[in-house]
């Protein structure tokens, strides 16, 4: 088996063996989905229309922001990355493979939600399968890129939690999962557009669910994809094998460049 395949298989198994990753990849999103499915349609019947995309966005946020960065920081702190370096494991594999395996775990969760939500909670089914898949890929790319970038720039596990929550909590509140973007105050809308969740919900609504988008949904897909690629590139550039090694290629603040596509979206989207 090739090095890539061996590494991929190990990382995929780790996503289930590691209790934190199991929680963030499966238990937390699926548990939240079942809870929201049982409660929300009674409070707000319109929730059924956006239930599948909202729960998928939540699953992606949990797996990528709460699950993905921490193992990377732990690996750096405990010397795993040093072991990898001396055995010839490239930095690109260290970043790319966990991103891909997280994507595979997410695909399983997405399939579970997409196929069970209409049966269990009478949720609206996506109208355009291909667009649904495209938005899902763009969202995963954007969030996995940011999650890995957090893992790369975070100096400690404590700071990882802080950085992750800075994106996760506002995404939950302002990202259109619980409360539609159109109901947000003007100032909050600008802030919401800095979140991948907002663009994902906008794109899902406009391109996949057959409902109305609040702004250009294809622009949202473009913003998600470009920010994801930018975040991966920055993660690779800022990657550091060792906490003790003071030689870094760039300042951590460079990571903020990953939000450039979102800022451009605020400036140029009508």
Using CA atoms, how far apart are residues 179 and 141, in angstroms rounded to an integer? 24
CB-CB contact of 29 with 63 (8 Å): yes
Q: Any residues with CB less than 8 A from the CB of 77 and at least 6 apart, and which?
A: 156, 157, 243
CB-CB contact of 65 with 148 (8 Å): no
3-state secondary structure of 146: helix
Choice from 12, 48, 49, 82 touching another protein (CB under 8 A)? 82
Give the count of residues interacting with another protein (CB under 8 A).
Answer: 29
CB-CB contact of 100 with 5 (8 Å): no
Can residue 81 be called a binding residue for another protein (CB under 8 A)? yes
Residue 71: CB minimum distance to another protein, A: 8
SS3 percent helix, strand, coil of the chain, rounded to 5, is 80, 0, 20
CB-CB contact of 168 with 59 (8 Å): no
> Which C-beta is closer to another protein: that of 96 or that of 184?
96
Residue 89's CB: how many other CB atoms inside 10 A?
Answer: 16
Identify the helix (H) or strand (E) that includes residue 168: helix 157-174
CB-CB contact of 178 with 172 (8 Å): yes
> Which C-beta is closer to another protein: that of 71 or that of 265?
71
Residue 20: CB minimum distance to another protein, A: 11
Can residue 75 be called a binding residue for another protein (CB under 8 A)? yes
Choice from 38, 111, 242, 251 touching another protein (CB under 8 A)? 242
> Which C-beta is closer to another protein: that of 128 or that of 249?
249
Choice from 44, 78, 92, 212 touching another protein (CB under 8 A)? 78
Can residue 27 be called a binding residue for another protein (CB under 8 A)? no
Q: Which stretch binds another protein (CB under 8 A): 12-20, 57-65, 133-141, 164-172?
A: 12-20
Using CA atoms, how far apart are residues 199 and 141, in angstroms rounded to an integer? 13
Can residue 83 be called a binding residue for another protein (CB under 8 A)? yes
Choice from 17, 128, 249, 251 touching another protein (CB under 8 A)? 17
> Which C-beta is closer to another protein: that of 5 or that of 183?
5
> Which C-beta is closer to another protein: that of 22 or that of 173?
22
Can residue 18 be called a binding residue for another protein (CB under 8 A)? yes
Using CA atoms, how far apart are residues 113 and 116, in angstroms rounded to an integer? 5
Q: Which stretch binds another protein (CB under 8 A): 37-45, 198-206, 240-248, 258-266?
A: 240-248
Chain residues in the site for another protein (CB under 8 A) = 1-3, 5-7, 10, 13-14, 17-18, 71, 75, 78-83, 85-89, 241-242, 245-247
């Amino acid at each position: 088996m090739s090095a890539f395949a061996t590494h991929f298989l190990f990382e995929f198994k780790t996503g289930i063996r590691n209790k934190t990753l199991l929680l963030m990849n499966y238990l937390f999103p699926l548990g939240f989905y079942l809870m929201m499915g049982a409660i929300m349609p009674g409070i707000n019947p319109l929730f059924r229309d956006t239930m599948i995309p909202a729960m998928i966005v939540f699953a992606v946020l949990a797996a990528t922001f709460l699950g993905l960065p921490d193992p990377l920081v732990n690996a750096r702190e405990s010397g795993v990355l040093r072991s990898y370096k001396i055995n010839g494991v490239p930095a690109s594999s260290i970043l790319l493979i966990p991103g891909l395996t997280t994507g595979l775990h997410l695909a399983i969760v997405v399939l579970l939600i997409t196929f069970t939500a209409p049966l269990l909670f009478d949720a609206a089914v996506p109208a355009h399968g291909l667009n649904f898949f495209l938005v899902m890929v763009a969202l995963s790319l954007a969030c996995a890129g940011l999650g890995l970038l957090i893992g790369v720039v975070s100096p400690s596990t404590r700071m990882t939690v802080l950085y992750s929550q800075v994106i996760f909590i506002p995404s939950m509140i302002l990202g259109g999962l619980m409360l539609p973007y159109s109901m947000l105050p003007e100032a909050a809308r600008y802030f919401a557009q800095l979140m991948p969740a907002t663009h994902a919900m906008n794109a899902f609504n406009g391109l996949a669910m057959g409902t109305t988008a609040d702004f250009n949904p294809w622009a949202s897909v473009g913003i998600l994809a470009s920010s994801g690629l930018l975040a991966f590139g920055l993660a690779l550039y800022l990657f550091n094998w060792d906490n003790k090694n003071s030689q870094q290629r760039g300042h951590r603040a460079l990571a903020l460049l990953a939000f450039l596509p979102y800022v451009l979206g605020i400036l140029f989207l009508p």
